[in-house]
Chains A and B, each alone.
Chain A
Amino acid sequence: NAGVMQNPRHLVRRRGQEARLRCSPMKGHSHVYWYRQLPEEGLKFMVYLQKENIIDESGMPKERFSAEFPKEGPSILRIQQVVRGDSAAYFCASSPLLETDTQYFGPGTRLTVL
């Protein structure tokens, strides 16, 4: 059973461009979570999704950030018009049916904004 997969592992964007980060949960997992880790800081929750539904987006910045988890395919975290402050490691996690189950994390996508 493959683990949580994220791609790309490294992404470089110039200011003003769009960044799309993908997350494929573990097989059979229907809950996806996104976290962000700024340099030298701890992880911060961003959003929690189930298939086709956003359950909790309390940690998402109000502008430029969006997330989806379609019926088919990976979950996508989209950042429009990136700024240097968006440079961070973005981690995705998944869990099975119950939302309180253990979360399994992917290796992360390291976004660098030039």
Chain B
Amino acid sequence: DAKTTQPNSMESNEEEPVHLPCNHSTISGTDYIHWYRQLPSQGPEYVIHGLTSNVNNRMASLAIAEDRKSSTLILHRATLRDAAVYYCILRRVNTGKLIFGQGTTLQVKP
């Protein structure tokens, strides 16, 4: 399984945008880029996923580099409720399991 690299932690101020980076230099053509987050004492929650093109949904945006070796999750206006561990995961097509790394712990300051 291809590996992802994320910073251990990041800080943001409330109401400001947050850019969470992820490196995945060994990504293969059949790997989708998924982002999940885990709030304290809760199960993981799906955020967004993409293959090659940038993606937007109500929660966030996903910007994927042209060579697909990196991606960035963008929270447009961070709130205190966005404080969580964010996981960037490569998921090969037709593979059920998710391989979680250590993720990035996001702190949001009021």
Q: Which residues of chain B from 5 to 43 have a CB within 8 Å of any chain A CB? A: 32, 38, 42-43
Is A43 part of the binding interface, using a Cβ–Cβ cutoff of 8 Å?
Answer: yes
Nearest CB on B from A110, distance (A)? 9
Residue in B43, B91, B99 whose CB lies within 8 Å of A108: B43
Is A31 part of the binding interface, using a Cβ–Cβ cutoff of 8 Å?
Answer: yes
A42–B102 touching, CB < 8 Å: yes
A103–B98 touching, CB < 8 Å: yes
A48–B96 touching, CB < 8 Å: yes
Is A1 part of the binding interface, using a Cβ–Cβ cutoff of 8 Å?
Answer: no
Q: Which residues of chain A from 31 to 80 have a CB within 8 Å of any chain B CB? A: 31, 33, 35, 42-45, 48, 55-56, 58-59
B103–A99 touching, CB < 8 Å: no
Residues of A within 8 A of B99 (CB): 45
Most buried by A among B44, B46, B103: B44
The 3 A-B pairs at the shortest CB distance, nearest first, are namely A105-B43, A48-B96, A45-B97
Residues of A within 8 A of B103 (CB): 42
> How many angstroms from the CA of A58 to the CA of B96 in the assembled complex?
11
A105–B44 touching, CB < 8 Å: yes
> How many angstroms from the CA of A108 to the CA of B43 in the assembled complex?
6
Residues of A within 8 A of B96 (CB): 31, 33, 48, 55-56, 95, 99-100
> How many angstroms from the CA of A84 to the CA of B46 in the assembled complex?
31
Nearest CB on A from B8, distance (A)? 12
A100–B100 touching, CB < 8 Å: no
Residue in A4, A45, A58, A107 whose CB lies within 8 Å of B98: A45
B97–A107 touching, CB < 8 Å: no
